[in-house]
Amino acid sequence: MTKMIDIIKAKKAFAEYVKNYDIKNDKIRLKVEHIERVSQVAKKLATKLELEDEDIKLAELIGLLHDIGRFEQLKQYNTFVDRNSINHGEFGVHVLFNKKDGIIRNFIDDKQYDEIIKKSIFNHNKDAVDIPDDLTPRELLHTKIIRDSDKIDILNLLTFEKKETAWEKPDLSDDIISDEIYKEFMEQNRINYGVRKSSADILVSHLAFVFDFNFPESLKLVKERNYFEKIYNRFEFNNKDTMEKYKNIYKKLVEHIDNVLENGSI
């Protein structure tokens, strides 16, 4: 019986694809490593959700493909910042599925999964409120899996990478957490990235990922790896008001995780 999803084939195709780019470039290297980790997190999350083997393999494949648009984005625009270039999720769909030279068949022969792959990648980096309500249950499931898996590994990067990689400066100690960003976090509202005024605000917007996970299993993985605690402990602020805000933010974050895991639902 022919395998419908051949992960080994897909991984080989991915390795061939990234040969087109300068792996010595630190940004390319980090992106390749991120993609490979996200793929494994998606596999692990799908397994924890007790999905069928077919959907576990599909989750792993979507993880491998979710940032495929990043490489051409960097090559053409010299940035990973979408607002200064292109939406990398939408561009990834173009790279894979455009009729002229889309490369999706390099990764999987079977066309039956195309819509799930396409919609999951297209929506993986959108605000939750912007995800369309006409997705099928399976499309929505895989969209949620890749969104959670991506955030889990972003937290990994924020835990272990240099501070300037994530927050645009190596030292945030003199930064201020703005009242607006603080209020949005404490009220568990969606953080408006457009009103962030400092690297400390960017830090808070990343901590707000805690409110945007779709599965308790995702928060279990995050807690097992102590990502939020480790990120929190990387920073102290000289401004007393900001330090007090920071402590309150972390307390709120921990309470949210504990409530979700105690209740077993989000």
Tell me the pLDDT band of 59, cut-offs 50, 70 and 90: very high
**Looking at domain 1-161, which of 2.60.120.330, 3.20.20.10, 3.40.250.10, 1.10.3210.10 is its CATH number?**
1.10.3210.10
pLDDT at 81 over 90: no
Tell me which of 1-5, 98-102, 156-160, 261-265 is least confident. Answer: 1-5
pLDDT band at 266 (very low <50, low <70, confident <90, very high): confident
Model confidence at 132, pLDDT cuts 50, 70, 90, reads very high
For 139, which DSSP code?
A: H
106 or 169: which carries more pLDDT confidence?
Answer: 106
**Averaged pLDDT, 109-123:** 97
Q: What is the pLDDT of residue 237?
A: 98
pLDDT tops 50 at residue 141: yes
Q: pLDDT tens across 34-51, in order?
A: 999 999 999 999 999 999
| pLDDT band for position 199 (cuts 50, 70, 90) | very high
Structure tokens at 251: 């307390």
Dihedral sign from CA coordinates of 246, 247, 252, 258: positive
Segment 62-83 shows an average pLDDT of: 94
Q: How far apart are alpha carbons 4 and 6 in whole angstroms?
A: 6
Higher pLDDT, 65 or 128: 65
For residue 263, pLDDT over 70 is answered with yes
pLDDT of residue 255: 97
Which pTM value belongs to this model? 0.93
Query: Given a cut of 90, is residue 167 above it in pLDDT?
Result: no
Confidence of residue 252 (pLDDT cuts 50, 70, 90): very high
Tokens representing 14?
Answer: 């991915």
- Residues 91 and 66: their CA atoms lie apart, in Å, by 10
User: Average pLDDT, stretch 223-230?
Assistant: 97
Distance from C-alpha of 44 to C-alpha of 56, rounded to nearest angstrom: 8
The pLDDT value recorded for residue 1 is 41
Alpha-helical (H) ranges within the chain are 7-18, 26-48, 53-65, 70-77, 88-97, 114-123, 137-160, 163-167, 179-186, 199-207, 216-224, 227-232, 240-263
Going by pLDDT thresholds of 50, 70 and 90, the confidence category of residue 2 is very low
CA distance 136 to 216: 21
Q: Residue 3: which pLDDT band, with cuts at 50, 70 and 90?
A: low
Q: Enumerate the CATH 1.10.3210.10 domain ranges in the chain, comma separated.
A: 1-161
